[in-house]
Amino acid sequence: MTRLHEEVRKARADPSINEKLTGLGLGPLGTSPAAFKQQVSDDIKKFAEMARLAGIQPE
C-alpha cells in the first residue's frame, strides 16, 4: 500500500497526468495509506448495507 501511495503521489506531481485526472473528476485526497484503507473499509460496509436494504442480491 505504501508503494502505491508513493507512485500515485509521483504521478499527481506530473502536470499532464494531474490535468487528465482532474478532467475526469478525480481530485487528490492527500490521505495516508492507512486512512485510505479505512475509507475503503467503511465504504464497503456502507454500500453493503445499502444493497441489503434495497434487497439487492449478489449474482
Whether 12 is in a domain gets the answer: yes
Whether 48 is in a domain gets the answer: yes
Q: What is the pLDDT of residues 1-19, one digit of tens each?
A: 688 888 888 888 899 988 8
Q: What is the pLDDT of residues 32-53, one digit of tens each?
A: 888 888 989 999 999 999 999 9
Whether 59 is in a domain gets the answer: no
| Whether this model's pTM surpasses 0.75 | no
Q: How far apart are CA 34 and CA 23, in angstroms?
A: 27
Q: How far apart are CA 31 and CA 57, in angstroms?
A: 33
Confidence of residue 21 (pLDDT cuts 50, 70, 90): confident
Q: Which domain holds residue 26?
A: 2-54
Q: Which of 25, 24, 2, 27 is nearest to 12 (CA)?
A: 27
Whether 47 is in a domain gets the answer: yes
Look at residue 1 in the predicted model and tell me its pLDDT. 67
Question: Is the model's pLDDT at 28 over the cut of 80?
Answer: no
